[in-house]
Amino acid sequence: MLTVECPLNSLSFGNVSVNILRELYRLGKEIALFPIGDKVDLAAYKLDPEFTAWMEDSINKRWERYDSSGPALKLWHIRGAENRKCQNQFLYTFHECSEPTEVELSIVRNQTFTFFSSEYSAGLFCGAGITNCNAVPLGFDQDFKVETNPRKPDGIQFGLMGKFEYRKRTEKIIKTWLKEFGNKIGYTLNLCVTNPFFQPDDMKNVLAACFEGEHYSNVNILPYLETNQDVNAFLNIVDIDLSGLSGGEGWNLPAFNSTCLGKWSVVLNATSHKDWANKLNSILVEPLGKIEAHDGVFFKKGDAFNQGHFFDWDEAEATEAMKDAASRAGRVNSEGINMSREKTYGKTVDRILETIANILDE
């Protein structure tokens, strides 16, 4: 019996959890499902009723199915992964920073096995002497689809989605775009950037600082999108995604999903981006140096977790990449569409289950 611990919510980790569970359901697996925090919020998803019933059954019968001697798959951060329900715990995790700490190394070393979402992260831990880990890439979420006739505004639509965060270079991306395209007819920047840790007034002040007192008629500020259906509509309206200019990612779902939908993404050629973005399906920007990870809010210097650096980029090079992307607007990114067929959650789950079986058979 496989025990599964994962968050069931609308955040990125929740999206990954739902997709992995969906593949386990398609394979006919019977599992003991423990939602992390004992909270379930699936309002963001439009799910098959039979799949929802399978999840509910897996949760309701979790304790009668639970077997501490069996394997457990835990989808969670390294911080907190030391807590386990089974002797053999297989962790699936994201890690963005450049320098694994001693605490992180110890927690990963003491897992039965750890799956990192990127070769970058797995390489850092292997380079520090960890042997019980590797990288297993994510797949394209089949809930996202190309809309045949999206209600697309006139002009070239740029999009920036995700957390407003120093790591993601959000402020720098906005300011760079404004210098080249601000108040320019025919170009629009659609901002869907929020942070759950900011109060509404704080978020307004953060965005106002990006505009430096100027008014821009071609910037749309959108609220947090509550459902995947809303996110899909946003991705279909946008021609060019800019979230790929983040300085450190475990995968980067907005940029990846946009690319898989045939849109053009401007992507920093570093960290997890190298696992899916290439010169055929993206407009790549090479990294220029590094910045310290600590921001005093989410990444704190000297903490036992999340230490090191993120990557940075040259503003002029990023601007040229944005202009290059603009010249491709209206053309379908066929290589991106191909990637959506190649990278699937079915393959993700197959690799996870194969590794679990091989290790337990040893």
Q: Are 20 and 75 in contact (CB under 8 A)?
A: yes
The pLDDT assigned to 9 comes to: 95
pLDDT at 333 over 90: yes
pLDDT at 362 over 80: no
Q: Examine domains 2-139+344-361 and 156-342 and report if their fold is the same.
A: yes
The pLDDT assigned to 150 comes to: 84
Please compute the mean of the pLDDT values over residues 77-89 and round it to a whole number.
97
pLDDT digits (tens, 9 = 90+) for 32-79: 999 999 999 999 999 999 999 999 999 999 999 999 999 999 999 999
Helices H / strands E in the chain, number of each: 12, 14
Q: Are 284 and 356 in contact (CB under 8 A)?
A: no
The pLDDT assigned to 328 comes to: 97
Please compute the mean of the pLDDT values over residues 275-287 and round it to a whole number.
98
Of the given ranges (12-16, 21-25, 38-42, 201-205), which has the lowest mean pLDDT?
201-205
C-alpha–C-alpha distance, residues 143 and 150, integer Å = 16
322: left (phi over 0), alpha (psi -120 to 50) or beta: alpha
Q: Are 95 and 111 in contact (CB under 8 A)?
A: no
What element of type H or E holds 206?
helix 200-211
- The SS3 assignment for 129 reads coil
Percent of residues, the chain, with pLDDT higher than 90: 93
**Taking the domains of the chain in order of start, what are their residue ranges?**
2-139+344-361, 156-342
In order, the DSSP letters of 278-344 are: -TTTSEEE---SEEES--SSSS-TT-SSSBSEEE---HHHHHHHHHHHHHHTTS--HHHHHHHHHS-
Tell the residue number behind the tokens 């077997």, with chain if given: 67
What element of type H or E holds 157?
strand 156-163
C-alpha–C-alpha distance, residues 329 and 319, integer Å = 15
Instruction: Give the pair of three-digit tokens for residue 32.
Output: 């003991």
pLDDT at 347 over 90: yes
The pLDDT assigned to 296 comes to: 80
- Taking the whole predicted model, whether its pTM rises above 0.85 is answered as yes
Please compute the mean of the pLDDT values over residues 308-313 and round it to a whole number.
98
pLDDT at 197 over 90: no
Please compute the mean of the pLDDT values over residues 141-151 and round it to a whole number.
91
- The SS3 assignment for 30 reads coil
Q: Are 282 and 266 in contact (CB under 8 A)?
A: yes
Q: Are 73 and 3 in contact (CB under 8 A)?
A: yes
Q: Which CATH architecture has domain 156-342?
A: 3-Layer(aba) Sandwich (3.40)
C-alpha–C-alpha distance, residues 349 and 357, integer Å = 12
pLDDT digits (tens, 9 = 90+) for 248-261: 999 999 999 999 99
> In 121-131, which positions are buried (b, 16+ CB within 10 angstroms) versus exposed (e)?
bbebbbeeebe
What element of type H or E holds 41?
none
Paired residues of 32 in beta bridges: 3
Residue 347's Cβ-side half-sphere holds a number of Cα atoms within 13 Å equal to: 13
Displacement of CA 147 from its chain's centroid (Å): 22
The pLDDT assigned to 149 comes to: 83
What element of type H or E holds 244?
none
Tell the residue number behind the tokens 């920047």, with chain if given: 189
C-alpha–C-alpha distance, residues 263 and 224, integer Å = 21
The pLDDT assigned to 65 comes to: 97
The pLDDT assigned to 102 comes to: 98
Cα distance from N-terminal residue to C-terminal residue, the chain: 18
DSSP 225: P
Q: What is the CATH number of domain 2-139+344-361?
A: 3.40.50.2000
